[in-house]
Every structure is written in structure tokens, then in C-alpha cells.
Structure 1
Amino acid sequence: MQVKRRNQRQSSLIFTFTATVLLLLSGCVSEEETDQQPEPNPSEDESERLIPPENEEEPEPETDVPEAYGVSAGHPDAVEAGMTVLENGGNAVDAAVAAAYAISVVEPFASGIGGGGVTLVQEQGQDPEAYDYREVVPEGGIPSSDIGVPGFVAGTKELHDDYGTADWETVIDPAIDLAESSEVSATLAQQLQSAQDRLPVEQLEHFYPDGTAIEAGATLEQPALAEALRDIRDSEGASFYEGDTGEALAAIQGLDGDSLADFRVGRHAPVTGEFAGYEVTGAPPPLPGASVIQMLQILEERGTLEEERNSTPFVHDIAMSWRIAQAFIYTDFGDLSFVDVPVDSFVDREQNAALAEEISGDSLLPEDEERSYDDSDPNTTHITVIDDNGTVVSMTNTLTNFFGSGVYTEGFFLNNQMSRFDIGQTEQNEPEPGRRSVTWSSPMIVADEEGPVLGIGSPGGERIPIMLTQVIADWVQEDSDLEAVVEADRFHLTDNALVMESAPEADVREGLLNIGYNEIREAPTPLYFGSVQALMIDRENDDISGAADPRRDADWRVEPRD
């Protein structure tokens, strides 16, 4: 199951090999001349003669691939949609796209076609790739609603075009079925109830029958969304930007037809860095993948991994590593299509070793009050897929806040991603048409010397980077159990206060307060600390394992390869 992009790379390598050998055979090529552009069109006879026979080519290094495939997502229906695609011959990208559309139907508060997302893809033995299809500033600037040009449909279609092997219809159909009829989860019922005051209830009779939020367990029918999804399926996504749905979107204040038609997926190299013998990959700026890697390297330098989990030094080191990383996000991060970002410096081990020395075990690093930002909305959703070729997909999609802007059209809610231009106080994150904002979505992939072994991500707003740092730092420990590290208590630093999922032991609490933390408090909502969706490859057993985060409706499933 080879993807189109790999085939293109292989063709390029064959051409380069052929042209280089021709130059060497000329017998009079100087060392200086070999640096020049080779002749682009060797004769047909020479090309055939110079390409080594198949049986003489160097064999590719063997890589253990799992004898299984699996999906982890924030809702069982999304897991089922992805697994159905895998069971019918689709690959990891096909399954991730199917799961993404499915979960947008059953969790319309967290993600959807009115929003955007970011995805990492890595095959065994190959370099990772990143797709940033988050929303961009419309041609007319940011509207009062903070709605950006949605990128979900364009991004998932480009992913499928580049990697998919299943038919487009196959990956969209499960979502259409769910839009026609699905069961209301407890989380959806709760979110509809809590958001009722800011949603256009008069347009949402299916969510608010008789003006009251629909109850958990009830059957939900979303005919307008089903119709929009059918149009996306039948037009291969074009209808969303230039068809009937596109016309409806262009009529919304702040959006316009040109902005919709001109939307392009962001393509920049993902960020990679070393940690604990692994290569960790994150989404490029303006997303905080580099920040997670930076924090992990700081922790490794400080020896934090040797400390007891939830001990005073463990909590303090992670909190201060976040303070350091957050400062860089606020001053240096921005859209790579518009500004320069010193990405390599954030994942440079020597620089991060120097930053680690700035952390004192008995005091707090100074806080810049202007950088204070507390996003308590536990937004977004994450999907991880691994297929039986070992390809890992790590995908985070969002409407930004729950239910986004609250604006509803054609069966779906529209994002409020443009509010994220409030992050930072520099020109690195200033809005202009076509630009993407700094924000917190952070899908990650961890690889060993053979290729990817862990896909991971989470919802949770501003807490996503520090939560993933905690989970990955736990996971690399010897004999670590994925389920145990996903379930472990989490914490977050906001201002000089620690928000902790469970109250610390008395001696830990006293130690943290003595260091200088002014408050240790509980999370404002049970959903505050997200829902980690992770799958890992067990190379020794050629298997895949996962973990169901108990904080939401998360689920995962793995099946053996036939």
C-alpha cells in the first residue's frame, strides 16, 4: 500500500541516480563540475543501461510492521467509522478522514466542517508530513464573530488525494449515516445544555426540541447536515467552497466567495527533535509542536524523568518548562507563510540545556503578566490511526471554542478561530488576509530508529502542550503502560497558580507553596484536562495497543490483520 507522494520521491531518486552515473562515465568530469545541474534527458538507451537490474538494487531495510490496525478517537462512533474503512482495505489516512467526519456529526460542539485542523502523517521508514488546514483570515479582515475561512473540507480532501486508497465516497458515507440518525451522548447533552444561552436555539429544533436540550440516549436526526455532507461527497469537496454550501457561507457576515475559493492548505515541514532516544515530531508553527519538544528536552536535561511522578520537583520542573516554552510562543511564533520563526532553535538540545539551567528548584521563574492567557474552554478533538503497514496518522480538529462562534448554517456550526490572534503581543501573530493564527492544537508522533511507534494528541485548549509533555514523559519510562500514563492525573500552570486534577499530597502541596506558587486549585470543569487519544506499536509483538481516556467518551479498537 504505497502512497502517491512516496512514488513521486522514488521516481525522483531513480532519475538522480541515472543522471549522476552518466556524468561519472563521461571520464572527464571534475569534482567542481559534479556540483552542477546534471543533464536532464539522457538517451533512452543510456537510461535503460544505467538503471541497475531489480535483483541488484540494494534491499530496503526491514521494518517491523504491526500485524494489526487500530483507531483511537473521542467517540465510539468515530472509532467504528475508521475501523470500517480499515477493514474494507482503506489505509490510515482514509480511516482518519472517515473518523473525523463521523465525530463532527456526533460531537458538533468540538469539530466539524465549519472549522479546521492539522494532521501529521508518517509511514515506516519515511519522513513525516504535516497538513495545516486551520482557518484563515478572510479578505475583508476579521469579522466581529471571529469566524475564519473554514479549512476542514479542503484539508481532509487534500490528505485523501495525496494518501488515500479508498474511494472518497467510502470515507464520507459513515458520517452521512450518523447525520441521518445517531444516539445523543451524555457529553453532547451536557454541552447543549450549558451552551443554550449563547446558541441560536430557534434554528436548532433538532438539538432543542420544545426549547429544551435533547437528552442523552435520544435519537438525533440532522437532515441539513446530512445534505451538506452528501454534497461534499458527490462534489469531492468543491460544493463547500463554490457550490450551494459555499454560497450560503459567502452570505455570512465576514465571509465572501473569493476567500472561500482561495483557501489553501498550509504545507510546511513538521518540527522534529530528539528526546530519550526517540525522534518526536510535532506540527510546525504557528502551532506549538516545537514547544512540546522543547519542554521534553528541558525535562531530560534536568533529570526530571528520574523523579517520582507528582512529586514536588516533577511538578515544578514541568510547570517551569511550560513557562519557558509559553514565552517563546508569545513572542516568536507565527504563520510560516508570513513571518520567519527560528524553529530549529526551539528543538536545539544545547540551547534547551542552557534554558534548563535557568530553572531553580526553590523558586519560580518570573512571570510576564502581559503574556498571561487562560483558555478554560476544553475544546477540539483528536484522532489517532495506525494501519497494518505501520503508517501513523495524528489528527487534531477544532471549532476553537465549543460550538465555535455559535453561528449555525446549513446544518453545522462555524468556528471562532480568529480569536486566537489575541495570543502574543508581537507582529508575529498579527492578522492579515490568508493568515493563520497561533493556537494550541498539537498532534504528535514519536518514532524509534525504524519509524513511528506512537501517535498522540488531545483536546484541551491552552493545556494541550503541557498535558502532552506530561504523558509523553511518562510513556518513555521503562515498563510504562500506555493506559496508566493516559489515566494519570494532570496539572497546568496559569499565572502563578497550579490547576491540579487531584489534590496533591500534603508534603507536596507544602513544598510547592514554599517554592512560590500562590494557589493550588481544582479544575473548573471535568473536561478541563482534555482526552488523550493515543495508539502505540509494540514492535516485539507486532501488535498495536491503545488507551481509553476516562475524561470523555473516548474509545479505541484494534483488530488483527487477516
Structure 2
Amino acid sequence: MSFATRTGPAWLTLAGLALVATACAPTEPEPRPSETTDAAASGTAAPSPTDTPTTASPDASPEAASVLNQEGVAAAHPDAVAAGITVLESGGNAVDAAIAAAFAIGVVEPYASGVGGGGAALIAGPEHDPEAWDYREVVAENGEIPASGTGVPGMVAGMAALHEEHGSLEWSDLITPAQQLAAEGSTVTELLAQRLRSDFGPASIQGLDAFHDDAGQPLAQGDTLIQPELAQTLSTLAEQGAESFYTGELAEQLTHVDGLDAATLENYEPERTTPVSGTVGEYEVLSAAPPLPGAAVIQQLQVSEGLDAASAQPGSADYIDALSRAWLVADASVSEHFGDPDFVDVPVDELVDAEANQSLAQNASLRTSSTSSEERDPVEPGNTTHLTVVDDTGMMVSMTNTLTSFWGGSASENVGGFFLNDQLSRFNAIDTPNNQPEPGRKSVSWSAPSMLLDAENRPVLGIGTPGGRQIPNILTAVLVPWALQGASLEEAVAGPRHSLQNGVLALETEPSSEVADLIRNNGWDTQVTTRADAVFGSVQALEIDYDAGEVIGARDTRRDADVTIIEAD
């Protein structure tokens, strides 16, 4: 197979990968910006194929210049963070570290992501034009969606394409940490133990010895999870390259799965796109392009700003009111406009127009589509995983990967030790005129890896989260304090979260009297969540302080997340 983008020339197979390094000239240190930038983010063209080694020769391309004294990795599990840090300490760049962390997180969070799923990523640097990648699942060439909702997994092809363009270490070296975790084992966390026993967990792991103890019970917190079959799959990927997943040994296993055929596997291509962008406060916000909801996230932020959310205390009635009004505007935009832009027109420029959204704010309503309390379902937990990486050149990667539902849904299959996605179920879940299945089409979904740029067009914050349909609300709840109120990253990540869905307001704590009045006045129901409910995600964010040359992280305690900052060599 070839790793071609829909908009560019064909990629090489991994047998002929080459480093295409980005030259980043030194820049003068800048504090957090005080001026609004109106420069639009743009993608870069895919490189032309050429047969070159898997690592750069001394004169292949100039190395990027260091502008920071630190590097960092934020991910949903300490073992995935450690994998990324190991790569950075070995001389790898942010893309190398992100790839290693992505493979590793699929081992220790098998319910959330892995080689059977897909994802999206943003990449930017101080003098590197932002680029977006979409390597999510597509409808098979016969146009049919299987009962499982499984689409062609794009994660492996996506990592291969990123490595081909930006990688500096050997492909196999980036998979080794994940392979070792699978073969040698990782400790079962409280969250993994819960997922093994809840929603789709019991059915998904039925008959899989790796996830059960000697008595046949699901592994408990503190047990060791060893996944020999997944370890073998990762060894095959390391030794035979990504093409083994789409045309080789692993592809042969996948073609036995309903909905996956040899032709669709072979023809799968990750897609390079231009990030959507819009001004919020003093920053340019970048996020994932349609059919992902990045433009809706930006719209929600801009409408929130127009409603003066910056003057409201996070978690207060005024704050929840403003952000919920903004969310209903953005949610309506997704329903009305969003779809795969290769098949439908999505008016992105209109959706991220700050002036237009300021006007929309004046008429933003809190009316919801549901008026009968009997029709209201609780806000559901949200799957997915996110990671953010920064290296000493200021290159930043913001990456969201997913199986869609936990474990890939109720009809998930385990092939080669990994779980397959149910991404194509999103055509039914988001059943709008612009989101209908066709061969090769991607569905609207909720993953939204994002970044904020300063007045010099340098990335100063990379952010993302799991959370399903709550993702825009989670990101807005963190970005309004950080970008508009001057809160520290730690304060913003630890702050209260809420989500209004179908007349139900989910909160993390019992509502105050003022919030209770807001709920009563709008006829909403209240849902108070716990950590085990996994509703409010786990934000993985890194901030860059160019003046100090430092990377700043904040650990989100809502899940098993971790963050590590190291001194650059």
C-alpha cells in the first residue's frame, strides 16, 4: 500500500522512510502575548516520494534549533508518558515521542485507543506552519456499515505518515516501548479495573485470558496485565513496517472481520489537512478540521467571549449560563453543517468568524431540543485518549486517538490482541443530512486536538481530552480561564466542569443555590457525576513559556493521567 494523503502525492512504504526535518531558526523569547494575532494557520504540502534511509544523513537537512531548555510529555497514563520521555532522552523529536506514546497508551488503555482505532493530530513549531492530520476510519468501498460499526483502522497508517515526514529515530525504536509493555506487563489501574467490569467491558473481554485472573475473573486493580498476542502484533509492525497492517500478515487477519476487505485496507490513506483557526482573546486557536468539531470548539469559545464569560467565576451560575448558551450554538452548527468535506461543503470561515460569533452571542438561547423529562438520558461517559508533546525546538504535537466507544462498542472484536473500533456507528449517532455514509467517507465525531498560538504564530498551548460529546465543553471550560481570565494551567485544568446535553446539566459537585436556581429556571435535570463515571475526560495540556525557555504541565486527576517535564540536552 501507499501512505498517500487525499491532497498530496503518495507516501513511501516504511521500507524507505526518510526524515524530512523542519528547520526552526532561533527566535527571541516572548512572554505570553499582549496583542491579538489575525494570521491564519495553514498546512504544508506533502513531500514527494524518494528512496532514502529511515534516519537522516548528516547533510540531509539542517537540524531544528533549540529554543527551549525543557521538553515534556502529557498523556493519559504514566507508562505512555515514560515511553515518550524515553524517546526524547534518546534524541527523538516531539513527533517521535508522540508516536511512541500513542502506541504505548493503546497497550495500557486498551479500552480507549490502539492500533484498531484511528485519530487526529496537529503539529506546529515556532517557524513551522501548523499542519493537521486525520487518520480516522472510513466506510468500506462497498459502502456498507457492518453491525459492529467497524471501519478501516487508520492509527498505524497515521503514525507511519507522521514518522515519514517528521521522524528522526527508527520506526522500530518507537514501537519498542509499547511492545515491551505488552510483553512484560503493566499494572492494572483503578480506572482500567472499572472499565473491565462496566458498560462494554465484560462482553469485549469475554474469552480473552489476558484480561482475566486464574479464577476467570476480570483483572483487579494492582494485577499485572500481560498481552502476548498484542506484543506479537507490535513486533510484526516494528519488523515489517506499517504496510503489514494493510497489505501483509496482519491484513490477512483483518480481512476476516465483517466490514474490512482487502481492497479498502490496501487503499486506505491518512489525510493531511489545514487546521481550522480563529481568534479568541489574545490567541489564535487551532483545532481539527471537519468532519471533526474543531470549528465548533472555536465558535463556542468566541460566543462565550461575546457573552462575557471572562468576567464570571468558573462554576458559577453566570459562567455555566454563558458557556451553555455558547455550546448550544456550536452544537447546532455541528448538526446543521458538519460532514466530511470531501463530500459536503462545511462553511468553516463563517463558523470561526469572531465578529459574527460576537453577534450570535446576543441571541444565544438556553432552549434545548428536549422539553419532556421522560425523554432525557444521563450524560454518558466519553471514550478516547489524548496526548501532548513538546520538544526543545518548540515543536508541539497535540494528538487524539480513539476506538470511539469504550472497547470499540458492544459488538467489538479482538484481532491480533487489539480491539477494533466502532467509529462508523457515528453515522447513526449523528444522523444529519451532511453525515451520511458513502464509500471512503469519514463520520462526524467529537475528537478535537487543539493548540493556541501567540502573536508570533508560535504554539504556546497544546490541549485535548477524551470525553465524547462532552469534549467541546471540557475544552471550553479549561480555555476560558486560561486564555481569557489569566488563570494558570494548573488552575484551569483543576477547575470545575459541566456539560448540558438534552436538558440534563452534568456537574462534578452538588450545585450551589445560584446554580440550582439556573437549573430550575430552565427546566433542566441535574446529574452529579463521580470519577468512576468518566464523563469529564482528562485534559492533557502543555504550555510553553518562551521567555523562560520552559514547558509547563498540569496533571488532570480525573483519570490516570500524568505529565513529565525534563531538561533538554
**TM-score normalised by length of structure 1:** 0.86
CA contact (8 A) 2:210 2:225 kept: no
Structure 2: where are the runs of 5+ without partners?
1-17, 25-63
CA contact (8 A) 1:298 1:356 kept: yes
Q: 1:177 to 1:200 in 2, by over 3 A?
A: closer
Larger Rg: 1
| Equivalent residue number for residue 388 of structure 1 | 392
Distance 1:196 1:508 in 2: 35
Report what 1:452 is aligned to.
459
2:357 pairs with 1:352: yes
Q: Does 2:516 correspond to 1:509?
A: yes
| Alpha carbons of structure 1 residues 396 and 369: separation in structure 2 relative to 1, 3 Å | farther
- Decide which moves more: 213-222 or 423-432: 423-432
- Residue in 2 that maps onto 1:421: 427
* More moved, 180-189 vs 311-320: 180-189
Cα 1:321–1:236 shift into 2, 3 Å: same
Q: Distance in 2 between matches of 1:555 and 1:71?
A: 8
Q: 2:20 maps to which residue?
A: 4
Q: Which amino acid aligns with 2:339?
A: G
Q: Give the counterpart letter for 2:524 in structure 1.
A: N
Does structure 1 retain, via aligned residues, the 8 Å contact 2:377–2:504? no
SS in 2 for 1:211: coil
Distance in 2 separating the partners of 1:505 and 1:7: 52
Q: Percent identity?
A: 44
Q: Read off the aligned partner of 1:480 and give its amino acid letter.
A: A
Are residues 311 and 200 of structure 1, via their aligned partners in 2, closer, same or farther at CA, if it must alter by over 3 Å?
closer
| Displacement after TM superposition at 1:106 (Å) | 0.7
Are the aligned partners of 2:381 and 2:536 in contact in 1 as well (CA < 8 Å)? Answer: no
Opposite residue 470 of structure 1, the aligned amino acid is A
AA at the equivalent of 1:97: I
Matched with 2:165 is 162
Distance 1:289 1:372, change over 3 A: farther
Q: CA deviation at 1:374?
A: 7.0
In the alignment, the residues of structure 2 paired with residue 155 and residue 142 of structure 1 have an alpha-carbon distance, to the nearest angstrom, of: 22
1:367 is displaced (CA, Å) by: 2.8
For residues 225-374 of structure 1, the aligned pairs below 5 Å read: 225-359=230-364, 364-367=366-369
Contact 2:338–2:434 under 8 Å retained in 1: yes
Contact 2:392 2:568 in 1 (8 A): yes
Q: Check if 1:67 corresponds to 2:69.
A: yes
Shift of 1:157: 0.6
SS in 2 for 1:127: strand
Q: Distance in 2 between matches of 1:531 and 1:485?
A: 12
**Within the alignment, does 1:215 sit opposite 2:215 as a pair?**
no
Residue in structure 1 matched with residue 176 of structure 2 by the alignment: 173
Q: For 2:407, what is the secondary structure of its paired residue? A: coil
Instruction: Indicate how the Cα distance of structure 1 residues 243 and 138 shifts in structure 2: closer, same or farther if over 3 A, else same.
Output: same
| Deviation of 1:369 (Å) | 7.9
Instruction: Indicate if the aligned counterparts of 1:69 and 1:561 stay in contact, CA closer than 8 A.
Output: yes
199-208 or 185-194, larger mean C-alpha shift: 199-208
Evaluate the alpha carbon distance shift between residue 412 and residue 425 of structure 1 in structure 2; reply closer, same or farther with a 3 A threshold. closer
Q: Does structure 1 residue 443 correspond to structure 2 residue 459?
A: no
User: 2:562 maps to which residue?
Assistant: 555
**How far apart, CA to CA, are the structure 1 residues paired with 2:424 and 2:435?**
11
CA distance in 2, matches of 1:452, 1:504: 36
* Whole-angstrom CA distance in 1 between matches of 2:523 and 2:544: 39
Task: Give me the whole-angstrom Cα distance separating, in 2, the residues matched to 1:314 and 1:193.
Answer: 36
- Which residue identity is paired with 2:559? R
Distance in structure 2 (CA, Å) of the matches to 1:330 and 1:85:
41
AA paired with 1:69?
E
For residues 392 and 504 of structure 2, what CA distance do their matches in structure 1 show? Answer: 44
Task: Determine if contact 1:118/1:131 at 8 Å carries over to the other structure.
Answer: yes
Distance (Å, rounded) in 1 between the aligned partners of 2:19 and 2:195:
39
Structure 1 residue 133: deviation in Å? 0.5
1:3/1:282 CA distance change after superposition, 3 Å:
farther
How many angstroms apart in 1 are the aligned matches of 2:563 and 2:202?
34
Corresponding residue for 1:52?
Answer: none
The 8 Å contact of residues 310 and 504 in structure 1, kept in 2 or not, is answered as no
SS in 2 for 1:434: coil
* 2:78 paired residue number: 76
User: How much has 1:7 moved relative to structure 2?
Assistant: 6.8
Q: C-alpha displacement at 1:125, in angstroms?
A: 2.7
SS of the residue 1:394 aligns to = strand
Higher helix proportion? 1
Question: Which of 129, 144, 149 matches 1:146?
Answer: 149
Q: Which amino acid aligns with 1:129?
A: E
> TM-score, normalised on structure 2?
0.85
Question: By how many angstroms is 1:502 displaced?
Answer: 1.2
Q: 1:429 to 1:204 in 2, by over 3 A?
A: farther
Alignment coverage as a number of residue pairs: 504
Q: Secondary structure at the match of 1:393?
A: strand
In structure 1, what is the equivalent of residue 137 of structure 2? 135
CA distance in 2, matches of 1:345, 1:372: 32
Return the alpha-carbon distance in structure 2 between the equivalents of residues 550 and 155 of structure 1: 29
Q: SS of 1:78's equivalent?
A: helix
Distance 1:63 1:168, change over 3 A: closer
CA gap of 1:188–1:513, structure 2 versus 1, over 3 A, is: same
Check conservation: 2:104, 2:181, Cα contact below 8 A: yes
Question: Contact between 1:531 and 1:549, CA under 8 Å: does it hold in 2?
Answer: yes
Q: Give the aligned partner of residue 16 of structure 1.
A: none
CA contact (8 A) 2:314 2:495 kept: no
Q: Judging changes above 3 Å, is the alpha-carbon distance between structure 1 residues 196 and 209 closer, same or farther for their aligned structure 2 residues?
A: farther
Shift of 1:496: 2.0
Partner SS for 2:271:
coil
Determine the C-alpha separation between the residues in 2 that align with 1:441 and 1:534. 15
Q: Distance in 1 between matches of 2:212 and 2:107?
A: 12
1:56 aligns to what?
A: none
